[in-house]
Amino acid sequence: RKPISLPRIQEMHTRGEKITMLTAYDATFAAVADAAGVECILVGDSLGMVCQGLHSTVGVTLEDMAYHTESVARGLRRSQGTAWLIGDLPFGSYQESKEQAVRSASVLMQAGAHMVKLEGGGWTTEVVHFLVERGIPVCAHLGLTPQTVHALGGYRVQGRGDVASDLMKKQALALQDAGASMVVLEMVPAPLSAELTQELPHCATIGIGAGKGTAGQVLVLHDMLGVNLGKNPKFVRNFMQESTSIRGAMEAYVAAVKNGSFPDDAIHAW
Ligand code: KIV
Ligand code: NA
């Protein structure tokens, strides 16, 4: 297999081939996910919850993210993996200025990331443009943005109603114009994320709790394996229930995303 590249992701989006993404935080799980055919691996700041036992992602530091990104990058290198590696910029590492964002993104790129992800729309547009101009591919993140959970008032669906959906459309188009080549849509109504996918030909939408109309899907690794401390949100499917191994569960996830059976909009979307 050839390494997954930005042009390949763009080609998949254009052709309507579903893009698969899972989170991973360590070398072994990253290598297994890659071998299972997962195209994109996100070292998410969700590691604050699943690895560190925090209540939100707000406490995760850039040093934490660099450590896990390095581990994942090593795992992919050792297994000759081909996945596209995305590092999450944590809370407080890009809000201050465009220059701070470049400095933080450089730490993750030098740890082995191919792309960085940052949350929010509006004010992030110029940050994205600044990074992309400097050769750092960017994945944006709209809808439920967990780093701002305290401002949002909880983990709930975003983009409901005309005002909120129009705002999200405006923000998404601006992020595409700024050069974001992917955007995660988290807990967004399925019709809205399907519409955004059509309106963003140069920016692949990756849904989580956003219905099946996106260019790709992402899940938190522990959630789709059914190992977590709390109760799974309704948009998650436990792929271990249909598999006898972790690699098998990941393969089932890839197959289900590719053939459109996950997510099931009757169960997994709003
Ligand atoms: O941190 C994370 O795992 C994420 C995904 C849920 C998109 O941001
Ligand atoms: Na995240």
CATH numbers and ranges of domains, the chain = 6-268 (3.20.20.60)
User: 47, 88, 138, 141: which to mutate for ligand 1, most atoms within 8 A of CB?
Assistant: 88
Cα end-to-end span (Å), the chain:
36
**pTM, full prediction:** 0.98
**Ligand 1 pocket by Cβ (under 6 Å):** 23, 42, 44-46, 88, 184, 186, 208, 218, 220
pLDDT digits (tens, 9 = 90+) for 97-119: 999 999 999 999 999 999 999 99
C-alpha 221 – ligand 1 centre gap (Å): 10
The answer to whether residue 228 scores a pLDDT higher than 90 is no
Residue 149 CB burial class (10 angstroms; 0-12, 13-18, ≥19)? middle
Say if residues 243 and 254 touch (Cβ distance below 8 Å).
no
| Poorest-pLDDT segment among 28-42, 178-192, 227-241 | 227-241
User: 52, 94, 139, 218: which to mutate for ligand 1, most atoms within 8 A of CB?
Assistant: 218
DSSP string, 186-253: ES--HHHHHHHHHH-TTSEEEEESS-S-SSEEEE-HHHHTT--SSPPPTT---GGGG-SSHHHHHHHH
C-alpha 58 – ligand 1 centre gap (Å): 13
pLDDT at 85: 99
Q: What atom of ligand 1 comes closest to residue 117's alpha carbon?
A: 8
